[in-house]
Amino acid sequence: MKWVMSLLLFATLVIAAEPIVIGVFEPMTGPYAAGGQMTMEGIYLAHEQVKEVLGRPIELVLVDNKSDKVEAANAVARLIEYHKAVAIIGSYGSAVAIPGSEVANKLGVPMVGCSPTNPLVTLGKPYVFRVCFIDPFQGTVMAQFAVEKLGAKTAVVIQDIASDYSVGLSHYFQEAFKKLTNNKKSVLGVISYQTGDQDFTAQLTFANSKNPDVIFIPAAAYGEAALIIKQARELGMKQIFLGGDTWEAPEFLEVGGKAVEGSYFSTHFDTEATTTPRAAEFIKAFRAKYGKDPSAFAALGYDAYMLVVDAIKRAGSADPKAIRDALAATKNFEGATGYITLDQNGDAIKDAVIRVVKDGKFVYVTTVRPSE
C-alpha cells in the first residue's frame, strides 16, 4: 500500500512537475562581458549534467545585467518577481553583484555569487553566499607574492574609483604590502581612473614618476587593465605589473599583446593545480563541450550551480527559505575549484592561484593557501 502511495505521489509529481527556476544575472555585454560569458559556459555545462532536482526539471533563466549597477538590481528583481526564481546565481563584478545582492536579500531569495570577491557582497546579508574567496585574502596574496617572491620594496596602485571591487582590493593590497615591507611609506602612490576610461597616460606618468618596483592594477575590467599596461610600455615603463582575478580573460591577452608578458595575477582555479576529483571530471567535460580549457570563471559558475542544486536537494524543497538554510549549512562541498565550506558571512575559504602571462598564455606559477 505504502508502495502504491509513493508511486502515486511520484506520478502526480511528474505530471505536475513544474520547473524549479534558478535565475542567473551575469554581464553579457559591457566592460565585464567576457567575465559573464565565461561564467555562463560553466553554468550551462553544469545545467547540461544536472537537469532536474527533487523530480522536477530545472529551468535556467539568464538576465543580462549589462555590467551596470542599476541594471543588476533590476535583473534580480525581474528574476524573482517575474520568473519566480527560487535561487539566484551571479554575478561577475562586485560592483554589479552588490546591488543585486541587496535586492535578493530584501526579497528573501538566496543568492550564490560565482566570482564577486568584495566583502560587501555578502556582509550582513543572510541570504547571500559565494563560492569564491574574498578580497582581504586576495589582496594579501598579491602583496605577499610581490614582497616575498619578487622582492618588491615599493609599489604604486592604479585603481578604478567607480568599482567596489577595485577600490576594495586596492585597499587590502596596500594594507598587506605596508605590513609585509614593514614600511608605512612603501606604497608610493595611489591614483584613480573611472570605468570606461581608455586613456591612462596621466595615471601612468604619475606612477612612473614615483619609480616603484611593482605596479598593482586591480582593474574591474580586463580590457582596461590591458590598455593600462599597453600604454605603460609605450611610455617606456619597465615595472612589473600585478593584478587580480579579473585579468583572466582572452581579451586581456588579445588587447594587451606583447605588453602584458610577464604580468602576474591571482585567480581561483588552474587546470594544473586542482584539489578535488570533481575538478578532473569538470575539465574533461568542459574540454569535450567547448574544445578549450576552462577559465576560473567557468569553474566558479559550475560550482555555484552545483552548490545551489545540492542545497535544494538537502533542503528537500524548493522553498527559498529552506534553500537558504541548507546553503548556510554547506560543509566540505566538493566543487571543481576546491572543497567549499561557507563561513558565518556566507563566504568560501579557498586557495588562490597565481598565474603569469608567458608567450601569450596564462601559465600557472603557484598556489597560496589561507593562513588559518
Candidate ranges 3-11, 14-22, 225-233, 337-345; the one touching other proteins (CB under 8 A):
225-233
Candidate ranges 100-108, 141-149, 233-241, 301-309; the one touching other proteins (CB under 8 A):
233-241
# binding residues, other proteins (CB under 8 A) = 41
Question: Minimal distance in Å, beta carbon 67 to other proteins?
Answer: 9
Contact status: 285 vs other proteins (CB under 8 A): no
Give the footprint of other proteins on residues 50-109 (CB under 8 A): 64
Contact status: 360 vs other proteins (CB under 8 A): no
Q: Which is nearer to other proteins, 200 or 333 (CB)?
A: 200
Q: Which is nearer to other proteins, 64 or 347 (CB)?
A: 64
What is the C-alpha to C-alpha distance for residues 33 and 95, in angstroms, rounded to an integer? 14
Exactly one of 2, 184, 238, 331 binds other proteins (CB under 8 A); that residue is 238
What is the C-alpha to C-alpha distance for residues 268 and 39, in angstroms, rounded to an integer? 13
Contact status: 37 vs other proteins (CB under 8 A): yes
What is the C-alpha to C-alpha distance for residues 263 and 252, in angstroms, rounded to an integer? 11
Helices 296-315 and 277-290: crossing angle in degrees, nearest 10, is: 120
In terms of C-beta density within 10 A (0-12 exposed, 13-18 middle, 19 or more buried), how is residue 123 classed?
A: middle
**CB contact set of 285 (below 8 Å; sequence gap of 6+):** 45, 49
Exactly one of 78, 171, 210, 314 binds other proteins (CB under 8 A); that residue is 210
Give the footprint of other proteins on residues 247-276 (CB under 8 A): 251, 254-255, 257
Question: Minimal distance in Å, beta carbon 210 to other proteins?
Answer: 6
Contact status: 223 vs other proteins (CB under 8 A): yes
What is the C-alpha to C-alpha distance for residues 20 and 320, in angstroms, rounded to an integer? 11
Q: Which is nearer to other proteins, 205 or 366 (CB)?
A: 205
Q: Which is nearer to other proteins, 203 or 337 (CB)?
A: 203
Question: Minimal distance in Å, beta carbon 201 to other proteins?
Answer: 4
Question: Minimal distance in Å, beta carbon 65 to other proteins?
Answer: 12
**Helices and strands, counts by H and E, the chain:** 12, 15
Question: Minimal distance in Å, beta carbon 32 to other proteins?
Answer: 10
Question: Minimal distance in Å, beta carbon 364 to other proteins?
Answer: 24
Question: Minimal distance in Å, beta carbon 280 to other proteins?
Answer: 28
User: In 69-194, where does DSSP find H-type helix?
Assistant: 69-81, 94-106, 135-144, 164-181
**CB contact set of 154 (below 8 Å; sequence gap of 6+):** 181, 186, 187, 188, 210, 211, 212, 213, 214
Contact status: 183 vs other proteins (CB under 8 A): no
Spatial CA neighbour of 130 closest among 91, 99, 169: 91
Exactly one of 202, 280, 329, 363 binds other proteins (CB under 8 A); that residue is 202
What is the C-alpha to C-alpha distance for residues 146 and 213, in angstroms, rounded to an integer? 9
Give the DSSP per-residue string, 81-98. Answer: HTS--SEEE--SSHHHHH
Question: Parallel, antiparallel, or unpaired: how do β-strands 264-267 and 240-243 relate?
Answer: parallel
Helices 201-210 and 222-234: crossing angle in degrees, nearest 10, is: 60
**93 Rama class: left (phi>0) / alpha (psi -120 to 50) / beta:** left
Candidate ranges 42-50, 226-234, 332-340, 344-352; the one touching other proteins (CB under 8 A):
226-234
Contact status: 232 vs other proteins (CB under 8 A): no
Given a contact cutoff of 8 angstroms between Cβ atoms, the answer to whether 199 and 138 are in contact is: no
Q: Which is nearer to other proteins, 129 or 222 (CB)?
A: 222
**Using CB under 8 A as the criterion, which residues of the chain lie in contact with other proteins when the complex forms?**
28-31, 33-34, 37, 64, 161, 188-189, 191-194, 196-199, 201-203, 205-206, 208-211, 223, 226-227, 230, 234-238, 251, 254-255, 257
